[in-house]
Structure 1
């Protein structure tokens, strides 16, 4: 004998089975849309980011496009159209870096800047290079590529590779030719 209770139980069973199969179909469609492993997890355009520490702006970053690969085993963010980065010290002195291309490696804190790299420090020291690495964790910049450094005093250094702190006070050049300005303190 078919009772009202059996009819309800049958309807609930049919509905549940139908929902299971339709969910499986949607799951397969979602899996088909899944991105390949080498695709960015996010793409940002017209970026104007501000980094703060204790309410103080310590850096600003502008870029036309960012590709976020922080979903990979070795996470990084790529800026294929270049960056303009301003960073400020404790005294609010501004340093600026621009390049045609940049990549930031999250785990190592290393930034690789490429193509028309220009770094201008707060005292107007200007570095121009084809490539520059910046180690954020120790505040160190270095390259093995050709570079030119112009100091506000008129001193100029052209070389192939160097290591330095961000203020160029601890500077080690590998090979260079330049003009140095030396003050005569006897005059």
Structure 2
């Protein structure tokens, strides 16, 4: 092959070099999936345990198998597999326990959203069952609340309703729309 014009040599060289780079830059499907599945701005923790304290006194201990902290415009922390919390009184005795399959902590609001098989227990043996529940540390005396259906099982009653609020120790509660039959002793009625 004889080149009479110097631009033809440059063109052919550039064409061959370009073809080489196109062939050399090939990724497998798995490599492409690995590159695109990486999360940007996400911190991941496994088998975590977090102690929440106020004024140097432990108020709660939270455990979860997986924690994802998202560095978004509004940062939040997600517990996608399961979440458990123990809440303590002033003597560091557990006063209530909480379990859920999913939790999300909204940092700017100091609020936790819980969903899927939510259960809250107290020392008296009372248990709250619901599908969605919030814990808000700014709602002193009524930290737990929901507007969804709830079921509370005590040693003597099963109470159903929609909407509820309760203190962190789950020592009492207010159900907004109760349903079902409740046995009330005659001594509780005014005379």
Stretches of structure 2 that go unaligned for 5 or more consecutive residues are: 1-35
SS at match of 1:179: coil
Closer, same or farther: CA 40–123 of 1 in aligned 2, 3 Å: farther
Matched, 1:146 2:143: no
Question: Shift in Å at residue 146 of structure 1?
Answer: 1.9
1:75 aligned residue: 75
Equivalent-residue separation in structure 1 for 2:46 and 2:158 (angstroms): 37
Matched, 1:176 2:151: no
Stretches of structure 1 that go unaligned for 5 or more consecutive residues are: 1-34
Equivalent-residue separation in structure 2 for 1:93 and 1:182 (angstroms): 32
Matched, 1:111 2:112: yes
Equivalent-residue separation in structure 2 for 1:45 and 1:111 (angstroms): 19
Equivalent-residue separation in structure 2 for 1:78 and 1:183 (angstroms): 48
- Give the number of equivalent residue pairs: 150
Equivalent-residue separation in structure 1 for 2:147 and 2:106 (angstroms): 19
Q: How does 1:1-187 map to 2 (within 5 A)?
A: 39-69=40-70, 71-94=71-94, 95-139=96-140, 140-152=143-155, 154-166=156-168, 167-182=170-185, 184=187
- TM (norm. structure 1) is 0.68
Question: Shift in Å at residue 124 of structure 1?
Answer: 2.2
Question: Shift in Å at residue 55 of structure 1?
Answer: 4.8
Structure 1, residues 138-176: CA drift from partner, whole Å, max 9, x if none?
A: 142222222110224x12211122223333535142242
